[in-house]
Amino acid sequence: MKISGLMKVAILFMLPFVPGRAALAADAGDWIGKANNAFGMDLYGKLAAKERGNLFFSPNSIETALTMTYAGARGNTAREMAAVLHLPADGENIHGDMGKFIDDLNGPAGGKARGYELSVANALWGQTGYDFLPDFTALLKTDYGAGLRAVDFKQDSEGARKTINGWVEKETRDKIKDLIGPGVLTPATRLVLTNAIYFKGTWADKFEKTATQDEMFHMSANDEKNAPTMHRTGEYGYMEGEDFQALKLAYKGGELSMIVLLPRTVDGLAALEKEMPPLIPAMSDKMLNQEVEVSLPKFRMTQEFELANVLSEMGMEDAFDRNADFSGMTGRKDVAISRVIHKAFVEVNEEGTEAAAATAVAVAAAMARPLPPKVFRADHPFLFLIRDEKSGAILFLGRVNEPDAGSGT
């Protein structure tokens, strides 16, 4: 059966009751890309230190959902969120710029006419009869396309859960199911904000399936396994440093790409993870188009995280306790974020990549002469990311410690 590369991501935030697009401007795209990536690198550092093995999440989906939530934050809660999300200090037109950025990602007809499919959707789920401020709901509808949808958390939490999960499944083409698990929504829930991002693209230069063969992948100096490994020699964006190699695999249309960062040694991943934040911004300028012999394993993984504690450790403390000030949502200090759940799936193969993410917030140059091809052999742990070439924003980010091609869908 033909299987295209695939990625899925989901994240969940809950806001319970606590008693007591026009064309994207260059400067807007610039700050959004930088903020998205800085937040993504910060979060990756926290998760990489806590998680063992494979790792995968969507910085863009989390950033978007939290920025929607930030629209209702005030006082110290807003200051903490802005710092963690790396939002502009002046705060001017943040949400308008984000709306234009989302429109730009979606493109005409949801991206279906661009050689790949990319769509971003948002929704606001509020307790029936609960009094949300008109300015808050209007901002989310205007800038994020997140119209207010009434559900009854008080009387039918399970029904609300199924409704929201159904929306997520639809917006991610059935790639993310059961985003919100049983018992997560309660009669105390007042608001859920959701973000979903879906991407499906084929490589600009596909790998031939006949060239794929089982080869040894070295997970460590003492541990290895057979993995279906793809092979292709062709012109790719490439750069290298003393301790790493970097390869850019473009998707059809040229507007999105996957970058693979490969340490020189089997045990070099931890050191490369520390180098990654300053490497990413300069990567586009330093990559040269040249002939490369590529060996890349097919891989497939599923991830799930609870992120509330991690975000609190990153400096977003007030948002999760009784000090929370989301009075921009309700006019009162009566809601706080209770849960942050992130679910992610990725699959990559000879055809390309399909990616989906859902977030709920409750609450280079031509060579002068031919040279021998570079050899890029990813037979040990590596980092990878999918990004928007126009803004540089990282849509998906992860590492492969142990490839598992899975059975496909």
Cα of 331 vs its chain's centroid, Å: 31
Amino acid 258: pLDDT: 93
Domains of the chain: total: 2
Pair 269, 401: CB distance under 8 Å = yes
Whole-Å CA distances, 226 to 264, 299, 383, 407 = 20, 12, 19, 15
Q: Per-residue pLDDT tens for 247-282? A: 999 999 889 999 999 999 999 999 999 988 888 877
Cα–Cα dist 222/220, whole Å: 5
135 and 105 co-located in one domain: yes
> CB–CB of 275/281 below 8 Å?
no
181 and 91 in a common domain: yes
Same domain assignment for residues 255 and 108: no
- Based on the domain organization, do 46 and 144 belong to the same domain? yes
Whether 101 and 155 map to the same domain: the answer is yes
Same domain flag for 183 and 241: no
The CATH number of whichever domain residue 157 belongs to comes to 3.30.497.10
- 1: in domain: no
Radius of gyration of the chain (CA): 21
**In a domain? residue 409:** no
> Residue 222 sits in which domain range?
209-298+368-400
Whether residue 188 is found in the same domain as residue 223: no
Query: Partners of 56 in the beta sheet?
Result: 398
Residue 408 lies in a domain: no
In a domain, 270, yes or no: yes
pLDDT recorded at residue 134: 94
Residues of the chain with pLDDT below 70 are 1-29, 109-113, 284, 354-357, 359-371, 405-409
Same domain for 254 and 113, yes or no, is no
Output the pLDDT for position 6: 33
Identify the pLDDT of residue 197. Answer: 81
Q: Read off the pLDDT of residues 213-232 as tens digits, 9 standing for 90 and up.
A: 999 999 998 999 999 999 99
pLDDT of residue 385: 93
User: 231 in a domain, yes or no?
Assistant: yes
Task: Mark whether 153 and 180 lie in a shared domain.
Answer: yes
User: Same domain, yes or no, for 170 and 106?
Assistant: yes
- Residue 388: which CATH number? 2.30.39.10
Are residues 323 and 292 located together in one domain of the fold?
Answer: no
Does any domain span residue 57?
A: yes
Statement to judge: residues 267 and 340 lie in one domain: no
pTM equals 0.86
In a domain, 67, yes or no: yes
Q: CA 43, 25, 13 angle in degrees (round to 5)?
A: 30
